Structure 1
Amino acid sequence: MTAQDALVALMIAVSASDANIRTSELLTIQQIVNHLPIFAEYDIDRMQQAAQTVFDLLEEEDGLDALFGLIKDAIPVSHFETAYALACDVAAADGRLQQTELELLKEVRYELAIDRLHAAAIERGARARHLPL
Structure 2
Amino acid sequence: MTEALPSLSPQDALVAVMVAVSVSDENIRTAELVAIERMVNHMPIFASYDIDRIPVVAQTVYALLEEEEGLDALFGLVRDALPEKLFETAYALACDVAAADGKLGEIELRMLEEVRHELEVDRLNAAAIERGARARHMTL
TM above 0.5, yes or no, is yes
Cα distance in 2 for residues equivalent to 1:113 and 1:88: 15
Q: Where do 5+ consecutive residues of structure 1 fail to align?
A: none
Cα distance in 2 for residues equivalent to 1:132 and 1:73: 37
SS at match of 1:44: coil
Cα distance in 1 for residues equivalent to 2:32 and 2:96: 9
1:76 corresponds to which residue? 83
Aligned sequence identity (%): 69
Cα distance in 2 for residues equivalent to 1:121 and 1:5: 25
Higher helix share: 1
2:22 aligned with 1:24: no
2:107 corresponds to which residue? 100
Q: Note the 1:1-133 alignment, pairs <5 A.
A: 1-133=8-140
Q: Where do 5+ consecutive residues of structure 2 fail to align?
A: 1-7
SS at match of 2:26: coil
SS at match of 1:83: helix
Taking structure 2 as the reference length, the TM-score comes to 0.94
- CA offset at residue 96 of structure 1? 1.1
Cα distance in 1 for residues equivalent to 2:21 and 2:84: 20
Taking structure 1 as the reference length, the TM-score comes to 0.99
- CA offset at residue 78 of structure 1? 0.5
**Runs of 4+ that moved beyond 6 A:** none
